[in-house]
Amino acid sequence: MAAMTMSRANDRFSSDISSRFHELKGGGVKEELTTTFAELTRFHDVKGVREMMKSFRVREVPSYYVKPASERRYAPAAEAAVNSVAQGIPCIDLEALSGEGLLRAIASACRDWGFFQVVNHGVSRPLVERMGNESSEFFAQPLEEKLKCSTPAKVAGPVHFGGGGNRDWRDVLKLNCAPASIVAKEYWPQSPAGFRNTLEEYVAKQQALAVRLLKLISESLGLETNFLVEACGDPKVVVAINHYPPCPDPSLTMGIKAHSDPNTITMLMQDEVGGLQVFKDDGWIDVRPLPNAFVVNVGDQLQILSNGKYSSCLHRVVNNNRQARTSIATFFSPSHECTIAPAPGLVDELNPAIYPKFIYADYIKAFYAQTLAPNNSNKSSFLAGIELHRNYNSYTKKCFSKVSSSPGSCTTSESSVSSIRSN
Ligand code: OGA
Ligand code: NI
């Protein structure tokens, strides 16, 4: 079935591009113009959407990027109706609120939405502006400059430039930023000139903000202030700078298809263009850009550590046909060796653990194996499939079977990766 779907897609794609090839031949089109699905995959992965638009002078969406109907946006009228009744996601002012009031605001935002914005967050406006401007400048550079940032390991490497996954209409520059052992500064962009310093400064501030938020979130759950910070061990911090070129027909594509973030907490800086949406009460709601705000979202590990009290929500990015959008996501994750399980303080006879204990590296492996599977529409979160009381199936049991350390603590138990590989 998978093979059939793929070969039909291949045929469609081949005729699509080959007709364009004949149309454009002789019109200054580069040698690398491609004719097969595999070649466009390579082109997309390495060079991205912006370069594809430029090289092929595309005026329509190539079928390669067309999403199945179930993954596209609703009719704009239906989305407008949802957004006109929604007040939007909560916005928390970290200076105006304090004490119990702040904890209550955080608790309801994490429980009811899994998404909120923060203002007066302590990261200076000039730094945020520099980070935003230099990121946009990076994507506007010639391809040769951007390609210098990719390691031979491509997306699995410590720094990568290329098209986003899942044939989404998005380019990305992904940079490992912590711990030091996974950082490769020699691949960080040399141009624009100040970028390396700006990123270093920005990441330090983002990391401090993540710790501050995780302390507040721990307290809002009635846990020790440091519980969530300690549960993440020596955290992994990755910055992904997303660039969404304008799209000739945004009704057919997705900037990022619906997903939840597998990490603990994500902080996102977005420009004024908009496009991020959160799934709530059966509808997609716009996360409208607010000046000087970060969008914060609960990731899968926080949902698990909170034993399901807080929600890692599905979200996605829709494209537009007017202007490019840039966003900067900082993903704060447990270290790969951490053992993750619902916090012991939130588990008792009346509230049994609804998630298994596992090693974070195994979660990541299983998450990507499932979310990147060819037929996965990714409408439902990977998390739903590992709930102990409902859907815990033999596949996930195998993934997480060899963990043997205490819940919620970061330990260096032997990883059960081999149990995944052998299946
Ligand atoms: C992500 C993400 C949202 C955005 O990178 O995981 O959800 O607005 N990004 O770019
Ligand atoms: Ni995301």
The model's pLDDT over 317-374, given as tens digits with 9 standing for 90+, comes to 999 999 999 999 999 999 999 999 999 999 999 999 999 999 999 999 988 887 766 5
Distance (angstroms) between ligand 2 centre and the Cα of 148 equals: 26
Asked whether 176 and 158 are in contact (CB, 8 A), the reply is: yes
User: Are the CB atoms for 203 and 239 separated by under 8 Å?
Assistant: yes
**Phi, psi values for residue 60, rounded to 5°:** -125, 165
Query: What atom of ligand 1 comes closest to residue 240's alpha carbon?
Result: 5
Local structure of residue 74 (DSSP, 8 states) = P
d(CA 160, CA 147): 9
Q: At 55, list the tokens.
A: 């090289």
Q: 386: which DSSP letter?
A: G
Look at residue 271 and tell me whether its pLDDT is greater than 60. Answer: yes
- Mean pLDDT over 86-93 rounds to 88
Q: Are strands 276-280 and 339-340 parallel, antiparallel or unpaired?
A: unpaired
Q: Which has the closest alpha carbon to 363: 318, 333, 328?
A: 333
Cα–ligand 1 centroid distance for 7 (angstroms): 30
Model pLDDT, residue 218 = 98
Question: Residue 245: what residue type?
Answer: P
User: Is pLDDT at 418 greater than 60 in this prediction?
Assistant: no
264, 214 contact by CB (below 8 A)? yes
- Please give the number of the atom of ligand 1 that sits closest to the Cα of 270: 8
Residues 6+ apart with CB under 8 A from 36: 10, 13, 14
Whether the pLDDT of residue 16 is over 50: the answer is: no
Q: Please tell me the distance between residue 114's alpha carbon and the centre of ligand 1 in angstroms.
A: 14
pLDDT at 379 over 50: no
Confidence of residue 95 (pLDDT cuts 50, 70, 90): very high
User: What is the rounded CA–CA span in Å between residue 65 and residue 32?
Assistant: 19
What beta strand segments (E) does 42-133 contain?
91-93, 115-119
Q: Which residues of 69-84 are buried (b: 16+ CB within 10 A; e: fewer)?
A: eebbbeeeeebeebee
In the chain, DSSP finds a helix count (H) and a strand count (E) of: 12, 14
Eight-state DSSP code of residue 290? -
What is the model's pLDDT at position 1? Answer: 32
Ligand 1: residue whose CA is nearest its atom 5: 329
Strand partners, 244: 325
Q: Report the residue among 155, 259, 327, 332 best suited for mutation to probe ligand 1: largest number of ligand atoms under 8 A from its CB.
A: 327
Ligand 1: centre distance to CA 352 (Å): 32
| pLDDT score of 179 | 97
Question: 277 CB under 6 A from ligand 1?
Answer: no
Distance CA(393)–CA(385), nearest Å, equals: 7
Percent of the chain with pLDDT over 90: 66
Cα distance between residue 297 and residue 264, in whole Å: 9
Cα dihedral across residues 66, 69, 75, 80: positive or negative: negative
**CA distances (Å), origin 68, targets 79, 158, 257:** 18, 32, 11
Q: How far is the CA of 116 from the centre of ligand 2 (A)?
A: 13
Per-residue DSSP letter, 65: G
DSSP H or E stretch at residue 242? strand 236-244
Phi first, then psi: what are they for 391, rounded to 5°? -110, 15
- For strands 91-93 and 115-119, give the pairing: parallel
Instruction: Establish whether residue 276 lines the binding site of ligand 1, counting it when its CB lies within 6 angstroms of any ligand atom.
Output: yes
Asked whether residue 230 carries a pLDDT value surpassing 70, the answer given is yes
406 pLDDT above the threshold of 60: no
317 lines ligand 1 (CB under 6 A): yes
Check whether 9 has a pLDDT greater than 80.
no
Higher-pLDDT residue of 37 and 246 is 246
**Statement: residue 207 has pLDDT above 80:** yes
Residue 315 C-alpha to ligand 2 middle, in angstroms? 6
Distance 57 CA to ligand 2 centre (A): 30
Backbone angles phi, psi at 49, to 5 degrees: -70, -45
pLDDT value at 183 more than 90: yes
> Closest ligand to 326 CA?
1
268 lines ligand 1 (CB under 6 A): yes
Q: Is the CB of 300 under 6 A from ligand 1?
A: no
As to burial, measured by CB atoms within 10 angstroms (0-12 exposed, 13-18 middle, 19+ buried), residue 171 is: buried
> pLDDT value at position 73?
86
Distance from the alpha carbon of residue 420 to the mean position of ligand 1, in angstroms: 28
Out of 21-35, 293-307, 371-385, pick the least confident: 21-35
Exposed e or buried b per residue across 26-39, where buried means at least 16 C-beta atoms within 10 angstroms of its C-beta: eeeeeeebbeebee
Nearest CA to ligand 1 atom 9: 329
Mean pLDDT rounded to a whole number for the chain: 84
Q: Give CA–CA dist 259/317, Å, rounded.
A: 10
Kind and range of the H or E run holding 265: strand 265-270
pLDDT of residue 398: 56
> Are 74 and 284 a contacting pair, CB within 8 Å?
yes
Distance of CA 322 to the CA centre of its chain: 23
pTM of the complete model: 0.86
Runs of H (alpha helix) within 57-124: 76-85, 99-112
Q: What are phi and psi of 218, to 5 degrees?
A: -55, -50
Average pLDDT over residues 179-199: 97
Q: pLDDT class for 35, splitting at 50, 70, 90? A: low
Please work out whether the CB of residue 312 comes within 6 Å of at least one atom of ligand 1. Answer: no
